[in-house]
Amino acid sequence: MLKIFNTLTRQKEVFKPIHPNKVSLYVCGVTVYDYCHIGHARTYVSADIVIRYLRWLGYEVNYVRNITDIDDKIIKRANENNEDVTAVTKRFTQAMHEDFASLNLIPPNHEPRATKYIPQMITLIEKIIANGCGYVASNGDVYFDVRRFPDYGCLSHHDIEQLESGARVEVVEVKRDPLDFVLWKLAKPGEPSWDSPWGKGRPGWHIECSAMAIELLGEHFDIHGGGRDLMFPHHENEIAQSQAATQQKFANLWIHGGFLQIGKEKMSKSLGNFVTIRDVLKEYEPEVLRYLLLASHYRSELIYTSDILIQSRQALTRFYTALRFLPNAERVTNTDFEKQFTAAMDDDFNTPVALSVLFELAHEVQRLREKDLQSAAAHGELLRYLGEALGILQADPELFLKSGVTVDAAQIEALITARNQARKEKNWSEADRIRDELTKLQIAIEDGANGTTWKYMGK
């Protein structure tokens, strides 16, 4: 029985989709004006786990992840670069696709771009105004009137008065209330713009997601997610706009992930404390980064250091060492390992506990290897099968164990050949000297049925 923590109710709830066996899910996508950093990777790997696990349980998941391709930050970047807005968004959309494919993220079923949904946004704004929750301000911009939406604050669990005193809301004189937010802004010279009943302009950020979610998933759907920073105001505003327009509940369940931090601070482009996904992948297999992210529960904060990358590779080395040199076998079924793994994942996608079950299973594979190779292999198959629900352990063990090595493989092979020759000649001191040399290079060797094999132990 899958339970998911719902930000709306602040409780773990038994998951029950609107339509049996089908799940509709919307995740806010990237604003494409720069390379994605590993904070983004955290949010989208978390979303990937939700989708993978729901599919693994047999649900048909309709996953929508948008692209924000119009925004102040994009316009600013295009001006700085002396480039077209579309040139900037195209380049960084492509870079995002490359990074996400490396990370083995399941592609969304739909990937709407905000600029392709302007008519839907306009229709939504018209409905909001018709229902008395929107107004045209004296400067011509259209605003949402939060005081006309009694449920405002239902997601972030604050009432309007608290939000006003606590939040650093932008005071703009033309607004009726400081918390009112823009639905449509009139164009400034040189900015991209679209025709609308309120004049040439562009949509506010929040309305994008409401319009795309409603168009692709319907007015009422199952799950909406994103990083915790989006809870207020972005998601609070999405709920207000959507429900003001449709007069019915928007998403049933809201999932928010914790931040990836550097020390006490959120990793972010604006703070400049970011490490891009591509930077990490220059040195490590993408699976190492995925593992690092799964080793913490998605709702907790995760403090990034380069040490945890090293530890994550070491953890995967243990798994792949267990999976190495196993004959073909059918996976064992009905084991406690599988039950414990499912119980962990059913408990709000508790990946750290699920990984600890996989560790025990890897240990069991190694224990069985000595006495019953077929049984070890059958457990190895189970390990791969459960790993698939997390998007890990699908690589060829040989390739993984030799990945990231900085020394030429031919040089390693030559040293191994020289050592074996020394052993043949019973020159033990020379054989040991060569082994030490390999150890210094972080290469571990093993003599076994398959001859002498090696693996890279990481930095």
Under the rule (CB under 5 A), what is the footprint of Zn ion?
28, 209
Return the number of other C-beta atoms located less than 10 Å from residue 172's C-beta.
Answer: 14
Using rule CB under 6 A, residue 30 touches ligand AMP: yes
Using rule CB under 6 A, residue 204 touches ligand AMP: no
Residue 108, contacted partner among ligand AMP, Zn ion, none, CB below 5-8 A by kind: none
To 5 degrees, how large is the angle CA 249–CA 252–CA 257? Answer: 130
Residue 268, contacted partner among ligand AMP, Zn ion, none, CB below 5-8 A by kind: ligand AMP
The rounded distance, in Å, linking the Cα atoms of 370 and 372 is: 6
Burial 64-96 (b: 16+ CB within 10 A, else e): bbbbbbbbebbbebbeeeeeebeebbebbbebb
Q: Which of 4, 42, 286, 342 binds ligand AMP (CB under 6 A)?
A: 42
Q: Which of 317, 315, 329 minimizes the C-alpha distance to 385?
A: 329
Q: Which stretch binds ligand AMP (CB under 6 A): 2-10, 223-231, 331-339, 446-454?
A: 223-231
Restricting to residues 160-199, name those near ligand AMP by CB under 6 A: none
List residues bridging with 231 in a β-sheet.
none
List residues bridging with 227 in a β-sheet.
257
Q: Which of 301, 293, 295, 307 minimizes the C-alpha distance to 264?
A: 301
Q: Which of 28, 125, 163, 289 binds ligand AMP (CB under 6 A)?
A: 28
Q: Which stretch binds ligand AMP (CB under 6 A): 9-17, 180-188, 258-266, 404-412?
A: 258-266
**Minimum distance of Zn ion from residue 91's CB (angstroms):** 22
Which is nearer to Zn ion, 230 or 292 (by Cβ)? Answer: 230
Residue 209, contacted partner among ligand AMP, Zn ion, none, CB below 5-8 A by kind: Zn ion
Residue 256, contacted partner among Zn ion, ligand AMP, none, CB below 5-8 A by kind: none
Restricting to residues 382-441, name those near ligand AMP by CB under 6 A: none
Using rule CB under 6 A, residue 74 touches ligand AMP: no
Using rule CB under 6 A, residue 203 touches ligand AMP: no
Q: Which of 226, 286, 391, 397 binds ligand AMP (CB under 6 A)?
A: 226
Which is nearer to ligand AMP, 46 or 196 (by Cβ)? Answer: 46
Using rule CB under 6 A, residue 335 touches ligand AMP: no
Which is nearer to Zn ion, 28 or 323 (by Cβ)? Answer: 28
Write the binding mask 263 to 292 for ligand AMP: x where contact by CB under 6 A, - elsewhere.
Answer: ---xxx------------------------
Whether the Cβ atoms of residue 441 and residue 453 lie closer than 8 Å to each other: no
To 5 degrees, how large is the angle CA 239–CA 47–CA 390? Answer: 155
The rounded distance, in Å, linking the Cα atoms of 170 and 323 is: 56
Which is nearer to ligand AMP, 28 or 212 (by Cβ)? Answer: 28
What's the token pair of residue 167? 């939040």
List residues bridging with 223 in a β-sheet.
25, 253
Using rule CB under 6 A, residue 227 touches ligand AMP: yes
**Minimum distance of Zn ion from residue 238's CB (angstroms):** 6
Q: Which of 6, 7, 43, 246 binds ligand AMP (CB under 6 A)?
A: 43
**Minimum distance of ligand AMP from residue 206's CB (angstroms):** 12
* Phi and psi, residue 226, nearest 5°: 170, 180
**Minimum distance of Zn ion from residue 342's CB (angstroms):** 31
Using rule CB under 6 A, residue 134 touches ligand AMP: no
**Minimum distance of Zn ion from residue 206's CB (angstroms):** 7
Please give the residue ranges that form the binding site for ligand AMP (CB under 6 A).
28, 30-31, 39-40, 42-43, 226-227, 229-230, 259-260, 266-268
